[in-house]
Amino acid sequence: GQQLNQSPQSMFIQEGEDVSMNCTSSSIFNTWLWYKQDPGEGPVLLIALYKAGELTSNGRLTAQFGITRKDSFLNISASIPSDVGIYFCAGQLLLSTGNQFYFGTGTSLTVIP
Amino acid sequence: DAGVIQSPRHEVTEMGQEVTLRCKPISGHNSLFWYRQTMMRGLELLIYFNNNVPIDDSGMPEDRFSAKMPNASFSTLKIQPSEPRDSAVYFCASSLGVAGETDTQYFGPGTRLTVL
C-alpha cells in the first residue's frame, strides 16, 4: 500500500529548542493530518490541512501543506517537556468508496529539561 | 462530545481463546477503521468500513481475524483463535467518510491485547 516517508525517526532536544519534522509521499494527497500519541493513548489530532500551500498554526505548532501536495511539515517552537511523544503524519486520498488514510512511521520526540 | 469509544481497554487472554474488541464510532461518522500498532510494524490498517460495508480488508492478517459492523454505531474485531503474535494495541478510528470530500480521522484510546 501507500507509504509515507516521515523524518526524522527520532529527536532528542533541549527544552526551549524548536523542532521540525516532515513527511513526503510519491502520491498526491487531498488532506494532510498531524497527530501526537502519548504513551498508552491513541493518536490525537493536532492539525488538519486541506489546501495546497496552506499554513496553519495551533499554539506553538505550525504545519504546512506542500505546494506539490506530496509533502507536509510540522514545526514546534520553544519545546517543553510535555511535547514528548510520537508524532505521526497522515495523508488522505479521496476515493469513490469512502476516504483512505495513510500514515507515516512516526517521529519520536524526547525533550530534555 | 463523546469521541471514539473502545472496549475493553486492556485484554489478557491465553493462546487459543477467542477475543472480541468493540468500537463505537463518533455519531454521524460514516467511515470506521481498525488499526493494529506494534513496535516492530508501527500502525497498520486492518480493515475499514464505509456506511457499514467493508471496503478494504486487505490488511487483515489471516482468516483468524474477522470484523463486522452491524450498524452505524457499533463494530467488532474478532480474533479466533488468538496467538501470542497477535499481542498489540488495536485502535479504532472514525471519520465523516463522505466520498470525494476532504476528511479527518479521529482515534479511540485503543485496546491493549496480550495473548499468553
Each residue's pLDDT expressed in tens, for chain B with a length of 116 residues: 689 999 999 999 999 999 999 999 999 999 999 999 998 888 889 999 999 999 889 889 889 999 999 999 999 999 999 999 999 999 999 998 887 777 889 999 999 999 99
Q: In what order do the strands lie in the sheet with B65-71?
A: B5-7, B19-24, B74-79, B65-71
Q: Which of A99, A103, A105, A107 to mutate to test the interface with B (most CBs of B within 10 A)?
A: A99
Q: A95, B31: Cβ pair inside 8 Å?
A: no
The answer to whether the CB of B110 falls within 8 A of the CB of B54 is no
Give the cell for residue A23: 513527511
For residue A1, what pLDDT is reported?
Answer: 53
* Closest by Cβ to A45, choosing from B31, B99, B104: B104
Cβ–Cβ gap A97/B58 under 8 Å: no
**Chain A hits for B104, Cβ within 8 Å:** 31, 33, 45, 48, 92
Q: Would you call A103 and B50 a contact, using CB atoms and an 8 Å cutoff?
A: no
Residue A45 is predicted with a pLDDT of: 93
Per residue, the 3-state secondary structure of B23-67, as one string, reads EECCCCCCEEEEEEEECCCEEEEEEEEECCEEEECCCCCCCCEEE
Residues of B in contact with A48 (CB under 8 A): 104
Give the cell for residue B15.
493462546
Q: Is the peptide bond before A8 cis (omega within 30 degrees of 0)?
A: yes
Residue B61: per-residue pLDDT = 85
Q: Does the pLDDT value for residue A79 go beyond 90?
A: yes
CA torsion through residues A7, A52, A47, A83, sign: positive
Specify which residues B19 forms β-bridges with: B79
Q: Distance between CA A55 and CA A65 in Å, rounded?
A: 7
CB of A46 closer than 8 Å to CB of A35 = yes
Question: Which CA distances in Å does B33 have to A19, A63, B96, B105?
Answer: 30, 25, 12, 9
How distant is the Cα of A34 from the closest Cα of chain B, in angstroms?
Answer: 10
From CA A100, how far away is CA A94, in angstroms rounded?
A: 7
Q: Determine the Cα–Cα distance for residues B31 and B97; give it in Å rounded to an integer.
A: 5
From first CA to last CA, the distance across chain A in angstroms is: 39
Strand partners for A107: A87
A38-61 pLDDT per residue, tens:
988 999 999 999 999 999 999 999
> How far is A101 from B2, CA to CA, in rounded Å?
22
- Mutation target vs A (from B31, B44, B47, B103; most A CBs, 10 A cutoff): B103
Q: Do A98 and B45 touch (CB under 8 A)?
A: no
Q: Is residue A22 over pLDDT 60? A: yes
Q: A43 and B109 in contact by Cβ < 8 A?
A: no
> A16-20, A67-71, B13-17, B59-63: which has the minimum mean pLDDT?
B59-63
Instruction: Tell me which chain A residue has its CA closest to the CA of residue B36.
Output: A42
The answer for B 62-91 residues in CB contact with A (under 8 A) is: 91
Beta strand B111-115 pairing with B10-13: parallel
